[in-house]
Amino acid sequence: MSVQKASTPKGTRDFSAEEVNKRQYITGKIRNHFELFGYSPLETPSFENLSTLTGKYGEEGDRLIFKILNSGDYLSKADEKILAEKDSQRLTPQISDKALRYDLTVPFARYVVQHRNDITFPFKRYQMQPVWRADRPQKGRYREFWQCDADVVGSDSLWQ
């Protein structure tokens, strides 16, 4: 039996208490300033329905998506012919219907549509959460990272 060296998945990293404290300090300052200008915090789930995420940024964007396998025996519902042909393009929708978000914009758009009758417009939101991209990790680029967004919906004014 071989012993595997402990490591993080490629394109991810750990953050020490010192680094987390620095990030929390900085994000706290950013939050305070957003709120001074009337922005409200928003958090969305770390994963969305695959259909919500696909097709928003074209084929290139679709390649950024980390798909999540359906729970249980996901292959039992797969078409035998597609499985035998190893046609991943046709197989994926049969074994995965969720994916990790790759940005905060698409989940925000989904939120606005889903809650349009409960939101007061113009709606000003800020969001700071991790996102995941199935990119090839390179120096300075990670598969998991924090994103910060601020948006206004429902106003033509640049002063909102």
Tokens found for residue 135: 């990119």
Assess if CATH 3.30.950.10 describes domain 17-153: no
Q: Which two tokens stand for residue 160?
A: 């909102």
pTM metric for this prediction: 0.85
**How long is the chain?**
160
Show me where the domains of the chain are located. Answer: 17-153
Mean pLDDT split into 10-residue runs, the chain, 160 residues: 84 94 97 97 96 82 87 81 80 88 95 96 96 86 94 84
Dihedral angle over CA of 127, 128, 130, 134, nearest 10: 60
User: How many Å from the N-terminal Cα to the C-terminal Cα in the chain?
Assistant: 62
Residue 120, CA distances (Å) to 1, 112, 133, 159 in order: 60, 10, 32, 17
